[in-house]
Amino acid sequence: MVLVPQLKRIPIRYQTFPRTVNPPEFAEKVAKIFRDHEQQISTTILKKGLTSDEVLPVIRGDLEKLGFECEKSKMASGKINRPVLFGENGKTEVSYDIDASHPQWHAVLEVEAGRAWKGNAIYRDLIRASIMVGVKFLILAVPNRYKYNVSGKISTSTDYKNTRDLADALYGNDSFRLPYQLMLIGY
């Protein structure tokens, strides 16, 4: 019998960027939603992590109570999108789908899972949020750990740590500025 070492449980956590600015008042309220559902969504408690499409329904009701508009389905009528470019007569020509949006906070929320770090979804989310109209805050939820199978062997990606390191580099660099504050949540 081969024993697999048990990985240490990592609680739901968050970091805001830039780190020289006070976190917004709503940061703890959003983090609490993830903490309240930790047993259902945690990538360090569950044997197999959920997909982002499985995480969002778990937290949707509480997000909506806070004032978020949330994606309800992958059908056009259930999606939430934010404009990027307007055309003639003020018609939206380019927009991006997002998981949730809070109009008063000018915040968008993206929940990522398996493709967060290994599939470069983090980079896509960072860039897309920077060109969406009116976004002042990106809330990005990523796995603390993403477990995946490579040739029958379980490997782990530390998505939260990797994303936090990237955000530190981006927000600590004077040659590049993102136009919004970032809240990174590890679940």
Contact (Cβ atoms closer than 8 angstroms) between residue 51 and residue 141 = no
C-alpha span between 135 and 109 (Å, rounded): 10
What separation, in Å, do the N-terminal and C-terminal C-alpha atoms of the chain show? 31
Asked if the model's pLDDT at residue 66 lies above 90, the reply is: yes
Q: Identify which of 165, 106, 170, 95 has the alpha carbon closest to the alpha carbon of residue 139.
A: 106
Residues 6+ apart with CB under 8 A from 91: none
**Lowest mean pLDDT segment, chosen from 3-12, 30-39, 154-163:** 3-12
Contact (Cβ atoms closer than 8 angstroms) between residue 40 and residue 34 = no
C-alpha span between 103 and 108 (Å, rounded): 9
C-alpha span between 54 and 76 (Å, rounded): 18
Taking all residues of the chain, what is their mean pLDDT, rounded to a whole number?
92
Contact (Cβ atoms closer than 8 angstroms) between residue 27 and residue 181 = no
Each residue's pLDDT tens digit, 97-129? 999 999 999 999 999 998 888 889 999 999 999
- In this prediction, residue 6 carries a pLDDT of 57
Split at pLDDT 50, 70, 90, the class of 74 is: confident
- In this prediction, residue 119 carries a pLDDT of 87
b/e for 10-41, b at 16 or more Cβ within 10 A? bebebbbbeeeeeebebbeebbebbbebeeeb
C-alpha span between 113 and 146 (Å, rounded): 7
Asked if the model's pLDDT at residue 4 lies above 80, the reply is: no
C-alpha of 154 from chain center: 24
Q: pTM of the prediction?
A: 0.91
Mean pLDDT of the region 77-81: 92
Helices (H) and strands (E) in the chain — how many of each? 5, 10
